[in-house]
Structure 1
Amino acid sequence: MAWVQAATGLPAELFFKESELRQAVLSPSGTKLALSFGGDGRRVGLFVLEVDDTSKGHAVAHFSDVDVNDIHWVNDERLIFSTTDFSAGGGRPSGAPGLFAVDASGENLRMLVRRRHAPMQTGTHIVSRTLDWNHELLMVPQPRAAETNEEVLIAELKFGLDDSVSYYPLWLHTRTGRTRGAEVRAPGEPLRWWFDGQGEARAVMTRKDQYLTLHWRAPGQTEWQVLASGDVLRMPFLPHSVDDKGQLYVTHGEGPEGRTVLSLYDFASKAPGKVLVSLQGFDFQGRLLRGAPGERALGLRLTHDAETTIWFSAAHKQLQQKVDAQLPGRVNRMSCRRCDGKDVVALIHSYADVEAGRVWLYRGSPPQGQTEWTAVAAARKELQPAEMATLDLHRIRARDGHELPVWVSTPRRPAAGKPAVVLVHGGPWVRGWSWTWETWTQFLASRGYLVIAPEFRGSSGYGDAHERAGYKQWGRAMQDDVADALQWARKQGLAGEKACIAGASYGGYSALMGLVRHPELYRCGVAWVAVTDLELLLNGSVWIDDDTSDLARRHSLPEMIGDPVRDAEMLRAHSPVHQAARIQVPVLLGFGEDDRRVPLAHGQRLRAALQKAGNEPEWVSYPGEGHFWALLKNRVDFAQRVERFLERHLQ
């Protein structure tokens, strides 16, 4: 059977374990390469390789009780990084990751910011001026020619009684640990800052209750001017980035779909000006790639169906074409040094829908006896692209004519009868998918299932109109979109008559409501860390601890989901916990016992309601876990439970 071949050939652990390669970053001169690397039970450490001979490498930071994360070069001889603990459950108290600095040689390791809820790392140089946990990295400035940078820009976080967080910038010296003021004061409580390449504050967003105000300070000026203000859900435009020429890039909606575009702000007309990027069918999502200090940007890295880079520099364009020719049919994310010279050095992160990614080095003038191209590392080397599912984006029409993007992952060896799993993303106000390798879709496809992943209304990334069409539509039009995606796949001959619905968080809610609203479509449902009680989500409880802010409960959630008083009847009609008697098929439920985003009470209440209705669900809860399974043993255990559950009901 195809099922047996797939299951025995590709163990669940290969999909769900942490990637061995976490990050790769070139030094400013391009002579060194920093890697965060771990896997197979080893802690993730920080390593530095010589670009001209990658066999010459050494560990510069490796701890026994914590993993290295988020690395940056401060200068060619100094790095900074934060830490996390991949062996701890996801339900631990949320804590700051701290900040550490170390020389590329491995010497002068120093803790700059303490970690919260964690002991000090052995061997770290800790002094009295080490900052408390409520400080985090904002940016590493670009050094000017003939200068060696030693400082980074951090923020001191201050917490309000309404769960708000304000950010106050400081300069931090990575060798001495000394701080100095950033010589900038916000005209209110600062929610977010935008800086140029040298760390000069150009824009700041302040907040008062649910209202936002955007302020601007041009190069050479000390006073702030107001550019825009509005409700958190209704700003006329939002700042995206600033460059060293004093230009402000903003995003705003355009056209009947309200698709987000990128524009330069026109200070003369006091409004967004020339549109720089407009994507057909997608919101602009991307970042500015800075050039040398004082120069214009090098390009833009953005995502439509897949990631791409728009280079403004002719040298970068030419080099990107060379890379793409060498590694065709893939996304090739490139960074380079001396990009227009014969001694160019480029780092390429290359990935596709069928491969999690590989890192390559390209050298225009390699040492004698070496080749231009060097394979550095692979993210998941045990999984071969030829075994993975292909991913395609389709655009269909929902029952009311609304355009609906739908991603389909097609297995290499479909199981008999073309069984399907409708996989609903969480959020829901996020973009669920793009053309990349994804754990759950690949795991399910490896078991022979067609995976249908709709970007239902309410999802972001496809225009403001698409997102706002999901307001107050939990379990209603949003749920119809999910059903319409499956019915479309069946009409196209992609999916057979056997299907289950699955998802986490909001996706888990949708899986349960799919069984309530469209019972004829599904043979089973899988829901983990799922919202089951909309009244509990919107009102909270003095007896149940959660992390939903008072600000969200007062202002945004009543508009986006429903008002707990005026919409009480609608909310009850679309809460799985109150509609459990209508669920007649098998259900698998999974919850984290320390989840503060969707507390365990959601699961317990639904389990009791299903039992009362005579439909005993399969149940698992994980001690120490929160809104995601952080421990590998739990990720694998749940994946295997899902595998067995689907096998019983779809095979």
Structure 2
Amino acid sequence: MTLFNRCAGLVAGLLLCAAGAQAAPPPAEAFYRDADTQAVQLSPSGRWLAMTGALGTKHPSLLVFDVLAGGQPQRVAQFKDGDVTQVRWVNDTRLVFGVQGRESGSDRPRGALGLYAVNADGSQRVQLVRNFGSRVVNDAARPGLLSWNHRLLHVPIPREGKDNNEVLIGRITLNEQRTVTPLWLDTLTGRTRPAVSQPPADVVHWVADPFGEPRAAIAVQGTRQTTYWRPPGSDDWQELQESLIDEAPFDVHAVDANGTLFVTQQRGDAGHAVLTRYDFEQRAPAEQALVVTPGFDFRGGLRLGDDGRLRGVRVLAEGESTAWLTERMQAIQADVDGTLPGRINDITCRRCGQPDMVLLVHSYSDREPGEWWVHRSSPAGGKAWQHVGRARAELKPEDMATLSLQRIPARDGLALPVWITRPANAKGPLPAVVLVHGGPWLRGNLWRWNAEAQFLASRGYVVIEPEFRGSTGYGEAHHRAGFKQWGQAMQNDVADALKWAQRQGVASDKACIVGNSYGGYSALMGLANDPALYRCGVAGLAVTDLELLVRGSWWVSDDASELTRSYVIPKMIGDPQKDAAMIAAHSPVNLAEKIKAPVMLVFGEEDQRVPLAHGERMRRALRDAGNDPVWVTYAQEGHGFGLWQNRVDYAQRMEAFLARHLKP
């Protein structure tokens, strides 16, 4: 009998239900409000399960469930003006978690969470790190509270036979490099102690082993980067490499309980990243790669056992999967995948292979936002599997759109990955929304449920998401092909993706272009460069004045560092002196007269990444050109929308704007 036989009837019922007539599409709230269940974590022994989510409350809270007793989840932490997030088990009865203040949107430094700890039964709750500029009400505040510039670095696995109440935190020095000092923090008393006796200077990133001991350190001095290593049993740091910050021969990935250093390195003509061990005798990454993901850079993480030793590798290619190293876990994975087919089933195991083994399964797909199951082996039998919750209970997977990855040739022959989200049971070409990701130097998508694409598809559009050159995750050659190509080859890739979809009969001749941040810039440039392709554009949080981005201004404050302006931007976007003409020629504020289609501009009034001045200048330029845009701003929001009510409002306004010009 397989593990899932006992709940097969229930699962079959869930998968086969609701084949009725197509109803009206779900409201925007169903896609954009805080998820009912956001994250689920097993305690080290597997007895307790912690979960966060809205679950009928205004803000996501923390609940704990006794797996052994099989009772109902108990709410152990809730805040009337803050979201619980980043929950981790410190030991089998104590948790640490962050609280993000939400009373004023997203206008706060990234990662400036308040840090708290609490027992599984809700007792001994204490605040450890102060929230940044937040009015979060806390009845566990204490004297000597750490300032907001402390953040959680690592939660160690408990050593056998030893109590563990400490976590590894970092004190951030607010200098140009944002250097980090590692400290041990007692989650019961709030006291700290040094984690490293003689740390290297100017460290901006630490990598710890499973027990929390800092083993690798990355230091930055100006434009140079140095990687250091501290072997087990030693207090001395060894230099492994030194290079320019963007030309390191390898990147540190993780360290296991044996002191093995795992690194990633770019290989082959395309420069795809692979995972390998570091060979200390050769003082270089081992020649034999451990994990290769053809067509993609290796992304993922080590799956460690209760003892901190390697049990498998979580791999992100088109979607996610786990390569288990033991036959037992391979069999369990195959069993779960066979019962929940067509999904990604991420398994967390506690006491793996033991009679009282506990499994947690996070199951999701392009159409299923996510659900969680827990299984506890018991010699006495009983109910093996229990359904924990769904991310978005209001949405039915059968009503969601499908997602596929295509690789098409760009006009110059470059292989271009393109994601297509298509409404279920759609026939023939549909009105298209070209959705351009931000960054631009990141990967835009992977095979999973995506709120924005699914929302647009539910309104009758096919959604086209190009991984244009400059995107990461598809090899260093693809990434570097986007250098100094804003509004040029990068923009051609976006247009080529739409033209390909139209030739394939996927998209009709009716299309609009939408994006946030760099994606907003691309939306405006698409309207200027290819006016015949698009009937409208939505530019959110958009870079509109390239000269302002590249040079900065005494009169407009932003969060760009000196290093960013002196080294990164000249190399990747353009030099303010040498490339001045190119920058001016591809700046949307200078091209307003070429933009004839309707435009919707959306900005956060407290945005420091792309200040509101970008929006105001573009609005003025379009008005002067006789094309008055739809203008939307959100008070106290920064570079994103912290309040889900603002996300919903934005979606509804975008929906109405697109409908006026595409009429799906």
TM-score by length of structure 1 reads 0.96
Matched, 1:10 2:9: no
Residue 257 in 1 paired to residue 273 in 2? Answer: no
Aligned residue identity for 1:154 = I
Question: Is the aligned partner of 1:283 residue 2:297?
Answer: yes
Contact 2:82 2:136 in 1 (8 A): no
Distance 1:193 1:580 in 2: 46
Matched, 1:505 2:521: no
Q: CA deviation at 1:144?
A: 1.8
Separation (CA, whole Å) in 2 of partners of 1:120 and 1:484: 48
Match for 2:634 among 622, 634, 649? 622
The match for 1:20 is 36
* SS at 1:346 equivalent: strand
- What's the counterpart of residue 332 of structure 1? 345
Once the two structures are TM-superposed, the CA of residue 393 in structure 1 deviates from its matched residue by: 0.2
Q: Does 1:405 align with 2:451?
A: no
1:179 matched to which residue of 2?
Answer: 192
- After superposition, the Cα gap between the structure-2 partners of 1:6 and 1:422, relative to the gap in structure 1 and judged at 3 Å, is farther
Kept after mapping to 2: 8 A contact 1:531/1:602: yes
Deviates more, 1:359-368 or 1:563-572: 359-368
Partner of 1:72: 88
- Aligned amino acid, residue 194 of structure 2: G
Secondary structure (helix, strand or coil) at the match of 1:115 reads: coil
User: One-letter code of the match for 1:396?
Assistant: I
Distance in structure 1 (CA, Å) of the matches to 2:428 and 2:587? 35
Q: 1:33 aligns with which of 34, 37, 49?
A: 49
Equivalent position SS for 2:54: strand
CA drift at 1:185: 2.5
Q: Which residues of 2 match residues 197-216 of structure 1 at below 5 A?
A: 197-216=210-229
Aligned CA distance change for structure 1 residues 182 and 57 (closer, same or farther; 3 Å): same
Sort the Cα spacing of 1:7 and 1:604 in 2 relative to 1 into closer, same or farther, 3 A: farther
CA distance in 1, matches of 2:409, 2:611: 36
Q: 1:143-162: per-residue Cα shift (whole Å, max 9, x none)?
A: 222222111111111121x3
**Equivalent residue number for residue 127 of structure 1:** 142
1:315 aligns with 2:328: yes
Distance 1:208 1:112, change over 3 A: same
Asked whether 1:42 is paired with 2:68, we answer no
Query: Aligned partner of 2:534: which letter?
Result: Y
Kindly tell me: are residues 72 and 17 of structure 1, through their superposed partners in 2, closer, same or farther at Cα, counting changes over 3 Å?
same
Match 1:234 to one of 233, 247, 264: 247
Post-superposition offset of 1:93: 5.6
Instruction: Assess if the C-alpha contact under 8 Å between 1:259 and 1:462 holds in 2.
Output: yes
DSSP 3-state at the match of 1:106: coil
Aligned position for 2:621: 609
Q: Deviations over 1:234-260 (max 9, x none)?
A: 111111111121211111110000001
Q: 2:535 aligns with which of 523, 527, 535?
A: 523
Change (3 A) 1:85 1:127: closer
Q: CA 1:366–1:305 in structure 2 vs 1: closer, same or farther (change >3 Å)?
A: farther
Corresponding position of 1:423:
435
2:373 corresponds in structure 1 to 360
What letter is aligned with 1:139? H
Distance 1:94 1:297, change over 3 A: closer
Q: Secondary structure at the match of 1:159?
A: coil
Aligned residue for 1:540?
A: 552
- Find the residue that maps to 1:645 and give its secondary structure: helix
User: Cα offset for 1:172?
Assistant: 1.2
Q: Is the 8 A contact 1:18 1:39 kept in 2?
A: no
* 2:9 counterpart residue number: none
Deviation at 1:359, TM superposition (A): 0.7
Superposed CA offset, 1:246-279 (max 9, x none): 2111111100000011111111221111211111
1:199 Cα shift?
1.8
Shift in Å, 1:62: 1.5
- Choose the corresponding residue for 1:156, options 153, 166, 171: 171
Q: Choose which of 56, 72, 78 in structure 2 pairs with 1:62.
A: 78
Q: CA deviation at 1:292?
A: 3.5
Shift of 1:631: 2.0
Q: Structure 1 stretches of 5 or more lacking a match?
A: none
Structure 2 residue runs of 5 or longer lacking an equivalent are 1-20
SS of corresponding position for 1:171: strand
Cα gap change, 1:494 to 1:88, in 2 (>3 Å): same
1:446 aligns with 2:461: no
Which residue of the partner structure matches residue 493 of structure 1? 505
Cα distance in 2 for partners of 1:528, 1:9 equals: 24
After superposition, give the CA deviation of every residue in 1:540-567 in whole Å (9 maximum; x if it has no partner): 1111121111110011111000001100
1:560 is aligned to 572
Per-residue deviation, 1:128: 2.5
1:191 is the counterpart of 2:191: no
Q: Aligned AA for 2:431?
A: P
Residues 437 and 444 in structure 2, CA contact (< 8 A), matched pair in contact too: yes
How far 1:40 moved relative to its partner? 4.4
In the TM superposition, 1:447-486 aligns within 5 A as 447-486=459-498
What is the SS of the residue equivalent to 1:279? coil
Q: AA paired with 2:541? A: V
The 3-state SS of whatever aligns with 1:421 is strand
Aligned to 1:142: 157
Over 3 Å counting, the alpha-carbon distance change for 1:245 and 1:139 in structure 2 is: same
- Choose the corresponding residue for 2:391, options 361, 369, 379: 379
